[in-house]
Amino acid sequence: MMKINKKTALVTGGGKGIGRAISLKLASLGYNVAINYLSDSKSAEATLEDINTNEGTAMLVPADVSNSQEVVEMVKLVDAAYGGVDVLVNNAGINIDKPFLDMTEEEWDRVVDTNLKGAFLVSREVSRLMKAKHLQGNIINIAATTGIGGRKNGVNYCASKAGLLVMTRCLASELAPNIRVNSVIPGFTRTEETIKRFDLETQEEYELSKRQIPLNRLGKPEEVAALVAFILSEEAAYINGQKFIIDGGEYMV
């Protein structure tokens, strides 16, 4: 593949939901976008097609982010195609919800390994590449408001996202000044996953009432993507180690 001399972004879980919106936004800003996915090739291919249709530049990089060898190979592929990685968005994540007393060790491991260990593995490999190529890099971790407030039946997910917030601060301290690290914390956001999970076709009014979101609506994936774009911009060049909550005011911390 011909190397294209412009900035490159790797978006894990970049084929659907919030990850898709971020991939599309960064491509529209002129980034080469490497779209990572694990199992949903159909969504990833659709995102790639949309970017290509709009004359953007992108590639697909399937990999399990919790597998260190697959992560190494993924980053090598992106480097070979585009000559480095300037931006990493750690968005890949899964839910396996169950009451605490019924949760299995396997269900704990699978969620924590994907959401937290995966971000660690990809950040480590990409940071090594950024430093080797003397790049001014950016890492953005996509966390969740439940990593701040917690909730029932999701101790594995909440713990993984809380860990991601602390990891953001650690990396921001260690990787500065050449790599900035920040976290974006979406609240209740309208994606295919949330529509299905919370039965929003019939239960949206109830969910909004229960959550008491001051703006009285769900967020849009495009709004999260716009925030990511701002953090990557020159206007945000002095921002490091911070968490940005985008949730309509549900959590005011």
Write the secondary structure of 35-46 as one string of H (helix), E (strand) and C (coil). EEECCCHHHHHH
Q: How far apart are CA 108 and CA 118, in angstroms?
A: 14
| Degrees, nearest 5: CA angle 237-248-220 | 80
Q: Which of 31, 37, 157, 206 is catalytic?
A: 157
- The yes-or-no answer on residue 157 being catalytic is yes
**With the C-alpha atoms ordered 172, 174, 180, 183, is the resulting torsion angle positive or negative?**
negative
**CB proximity list for 206: less than 8 A, separation 6 or greater:** none
| Cβ density class 26-47: b for 16+ within 10 Å, e for less | bbeeebbbbbbbbeeeebbeeb
Q: Which two tokens stand for residue 173?
A: 């301290």
| Cβ density class 112-151: b for 16+ within 10 Å, e for less | bbbbbbbbbbbbebbbebbeeeebebbbbbbbbbbbbeee
> Could you list the active site residues?
157
